[in-house]
Amino acid sequence: MPRYALRIEYDGGPFSGWQRQADHPSVQAAVETALAHLEPGPHTIAAAGRTDAGVHARGQVCHCDLTREWDPFRLSEALNYHLKPAPVAVVAAQRVGADWHARFSARERRYLYRILCRRAPVTMEAGLVWQVKYALDLDAMRAGAEQLVGLHDFTTFRSVTCQAKSPVKTLDALDIDRVDTDAGPEIQFRVRARSFLHNQVRSFVGTLERVGTGAWAPDRVGTVLRAQDRAACGPVAPPQGLALMSVGYPDDPFA
């Protein structure tokens, strides 16, 4: 059976997350239903990462096995036709080997979290950012973030429902920048690692937001990391500010 890699973009707002659920809409189910219009199902696709309810993606990657050969461009066009009106789009499709796997072949995942700092209600960016009505101290948040980079036990920053076998992960980068947009000043967190724990990025952001307000000293981030205790974590940032931006592979099928 020929296997195809799909790069997918979606607005996570209407969905319960990536993973298929019996009584709730999911991105996985939307794509699998579109595939069933092209070839008789059922279809089961695998993704590079399972985004939570309300989390977006610019560069999610999944793979599917089909019974016949498809031209990759025609496959993406056909899927996009059947995905309407769901806010999901197949941005690219490519034939890959039978041993290629969207999740297990991945070597890097990159996320972006956006905080918009302004008092006026959010209109154009509604559902895409976390709005806070106060300024955040960029230098303090950067000082806190430095303590998270590297190999650590991230028990403090993972959900109690996380199914990962180990809380030990290597965080390759957590870069924080201020970007002045037409909507107002944004604080952008760019996070990179081979893999992440459940709620890890949102837990980082929620904790660093406390540092940015001055409620926490930057050194407290290291203290709660070493505590290896979920109760020590700051609040989990809301999902709408988070997007999976890209997934890296040793041989990028979309290059």
What token pair was written down for 30? 């939307």
pLDDT at position 9: 98
Same fold for the pair 3-105 and 108-246: yes
Spans of all domains in the chain: 3-105, 108-246
What is the CATH code for 108-246? 3.30.70.660
- Run of H or E residues at 241: none
Percentage of the chain exceeding pLDDT 70 = 100
What is the CATH code for 3-105? 3.30.70.580
pLDDT at position 75: 98
| pLDDT single digits (tens) 24-48 | 999 999 999 999 999 987 899 999 9
Q: Is the peptide bond before 121 cis (omega within 30 degrees of 0)?
A: no
Q: Give the amino acid at 16.
A: S
* pLDDT above 90 (res 163): no
52 is catalytic: yes
Q: Mean pLDDT over all residues of the chain?
A: 96
178-187: average pLDDT:
94
Task: Place 16 in a pLDDT band, splitting at 50, 70 and 90.
Answer: very high
* pLDDT above 90 (res 22): no
pLDDT at position 230: 96
pLDDT at position 128: 97
CA 229 to chain centre: 23
pLDDT at position 41: 79
Cα dihedral across residues 141, 147, 151, 153: positive or negative: negative
Cα–Cα distances in angstroms (integers) from residue 16 to residues 20, 52, 128, 229, in the given order:
8, 7, 16, 27
Active-site residue among 52, 71, 175, 180? 52
137-146: average pLDDT:
98
143-156: average pLDDT:
98
| pLDDT single digits (tens) 200-218 | 999 999 999 999 999 999 9
Q: Output the pTM of the full model.
A: 0.96
DSSP 37-81: HHS-S----EES--PBTT-EEEEEEEEEE-SS---HHHHHHHHHH
